[in-house]
Amino acid sequence: MKEGLFQTDIKEIPLIKRGKVRDIYDLEDKLLIVATDRISAFDVVLPTPIPDKGRILTLMSLFWFDFLKDIVDNHLITANVDEFPEVLQSYKNILYQRSMIVHKAKVIPVECIVRGYITGSAMKEYLKTGKVCEITLPSGLKEADKLPEPIFTPSTKAEIGEHDINITFEEMCKIVGKETAEILKELSLKIYKKAAEYAESKGIIIADTKFEFGILDGKIILIDEVLTPDSSRFWPKDEYEPGKPQKSFDKQFIRDWLKANWKKGETPPSIPPEIVKKTKEKYLEALYRLTGKTL
């Protein structure tokens, strides 16, 4: 398997930031966002890329931006490399299917997480307190149970190497203001419900996901990526069985391998070729099921 794109090096325009997955460049009043093949887990970027992962994430985000535009506007201007500025035309082969030119928005500094099923950090908190982010849940829930209604559980936005911290809605109100918090909660739940219903018709359960929003010209818009295997837990509907961890189309596969092969705090190991291959296959299957597209 060929190596994936670990990072971009576009010298003609300023690099603003290298995130866990994306490289972001400054185009004055716009941004160029490039999704690399880097993969992160447990708040660290792993040394082995997943070939074509950035293309899969970009194609999936483009699908969802279009699918959700009746609910919320987004930051996309174009993903067609032929429409990119002249300065980027020599990079078309690198940028194809893995880049977007977007509006510069003021980023709202919270992660908007919606959970339709209980797993992960929410399950740990529930077992201790019976609550998630101060939301009281029914007693007796098992791992991967569907919740009576999806819940909104925001978190802080952490830098690379740091961990997002779950916060209550009241704490979110203090960070962004009550009116903005209410709008974000309503939008997040509405987006999740529409997407989850569609995904289920394609054989995928969206257990939980996170959204990011920004403000452009005084209006709240959807930014970054949306409903990808990096930002969501995708489970195969036909194999769903509550009471135990689920098979998935997301990076849970990598997390499980790391748990067995890596001690936190140490340098993360290279990912073996067979794990890389299986991870790519899971991402590709999610892309195909949800969008009908392949690479």
Query: What are the pLDDT digits (tens) for 48-103?
Result: 999 999 999 999 999 999 999 999 999 999 999 999 999 999 999 999 999 999 99
Ramachandran region, residue 194 (left: φ > 0; alpha: ψ -120 to 50; beta: rest): alpha
> pLDDT tier at 163 (50, 70, 90 boundaries)?
low
- pLDDT at residue number 159: 64
Domain range spanning residue 59? 15-104
Whole-prediction pTM = 0.94
130 and 210 co-located in one domain: yes
- pLDDT at residue number 274: 93
Beta strands in 4-104 (DSSP E): 15-18, 22-27, 30-35, 40-41, 44-45, 76-78, 99-103
Average pLDDT of the chain, as a whole number? 95
Instruction: Check whether 161 has a pLDDT greater than 70.
Output: no
Query: SS3 of 64, please?
Result: helix
> pLDDT tier at 192 (50, 70, 90 boundaries)?
very high
What tokens does 271 get? 């990912």
73 and 120 co-located in one domain: no
Helix extents (H) in the chain: 53-67, 92-95, 120-129, 169-176, 178-201, 252-261, 273-291
Domain termination site, one of 47, 70, 104: 104
For the segment 240-261, the average pLDDT, to the nearest whole number, is 91
Domain termination site, one of 67, 82, 104: 104
116 and 168 co-located in one domain: yes
Question: For residues 100 and 230, what is the distance between their CA atoms, to the nearest angstrom?
Answer: 17
- pLDDT at residue number 252: 80
| Residue 195 backbone phi and psi in degrees, to 5 | -65, -40
22 and 111 co-located in one domain: no
Bridge partners of 47?
A: none
Instruction: Check whether 202 has a pLDDT greater than 70.
Output: yes
- pLDDT at residue number 175: 96
- pLDDT at residue number 253: 81
Residues 6 or more apart in contact with residue 16 via CB below 8 angstroms: 24, 25, 26, 31
Percentage with pLDDT > 90 across the chain: 91
Contact 68, 19 (CB under 8 A): no
Does residue 43 form part of some domain? yes
